[in-house]
Amino acid sequence: MMHHEDILGCVVTPNEATLVSLLSCCANLEGGGALIQGKQIHCYIIRNDVEVTVFLGTALISMYGRTGCLRNAVEVFDRMIAKEVCTWNAIICSLVSNGREKQALDMFQNMKREMMKPNEVTFVVLLTACARGKFVELGLRLFKSMSSEFAIVPKTEHYGCVVDLLGKAGLLEEASRFVDRMPFEPDASVLGALLGACKVHGDVELADNVGKKLLELQPQHCGRYIVLSNIYAEAGNWGSAAELRKVMLENGIDKIPAYSCIGSM
């Protein structure tokens, strides 16, 4: 399957980089990934006795995690002798994206026990786990521990995660105050999370405020208009919806596309 002959009849054997790239493609393919193809690559690895290196193992975990095959992801992880921070991040992420927030957080304990130092990606994943599991206290503690315990300076992604954590738990007031107290200007991703929190809570007034700032930052981002307009609509605030429509036209966005802006790019 994997051996290809070129025009001159040469046979090319895939090396580690080839297999890792292919697995990454399977994991990131839109529409839930390509599990069948990923499994075929795993089969190839087994049949040809290809050594499962740290890179290859991590790519396998990620592929299985993202295609919903958590069992296989865990199996690959358990068999790996050498693990790096990416390997741990991949398994924690697999657990989170398959609804096992608690287990993901337990895995972080194992990681620390094995003296593996987490990095900024680890915390994005952990904070996401807390947001989904509604573990507000723990999430805030983890966020604080980044700088105090692990010497990692939280970046805008982490602030966005905390806003999402508070927002999902219905703590809109806290989310808003958290943004106000950020050490740098909140960027679009943070304001986007706050706007999402407004939607959950149905707070039109704050949404109005945040939405205006957000549209100043991203006047061409049609998704932002959609969220804001939905918040207005849910509240029956047709006046604001009409006004928003005018702003859209002014910014040259004349129509909400049938499909996602991101999906069509």
204-217 vs 222-234: helix axis angle to the nearest 10?
170
Choose between 121 and 145: whose C-beta lies nearer to DNA.
Answer: 121
Distance CA 38, CA 22 (A): 8
Strands (E), the chain: 4-5, 11-12
For residue 40, the tally of other CB atoms under 10 A from its CB is: 15
Stretch that binds DNA, among 10-18, 101-109, 146-154, 240-248 (CB under 7 A): 10-18
CA atoms within 13 A on the CB side of 220: 1
Least gap, CB of 138 to DNA (angstroms): 16
Distance CA 180, CA 89 (A): 30
Distance CA 239, CA 126 (A): 40
Q: Does the footprint of DNA cover residue 75 (CB under 7 A)?
A: no
Q: Does the footprint of DNA cover residue 207 (CB under 7 A)?
A: no
Contacts (CB under 7 A) with DNA, residues 95-114: 97
Residue from 69, 73, 105, 193 binding DNA (CB under 7 A):
193
Residue from 37, 40, 68, 132 binding DNA (CB under 7 A):
132
Amino acid at 185: E
Contacts (CB under 7 A) with DNA, residues 142-181: 157, 160-161, 164
Distance CA 83, CA 182 (A): 34
Q: Does the footprint of DNA cover residue 59 (CB under 7 A)?
A: yes
Residues that bind DNA (CB under 7 A): 15-17, 20-21, 24, 27-28, 54-56, 58-59, 62, 65-66, 84-87, 89-90, 93, 97, 119-122, 124-125, 127-128, 131-132, 157, 160-161, 164, 189, 192-193, 195-196, 199, 222-223, 226-227, 230, 256, 258-263
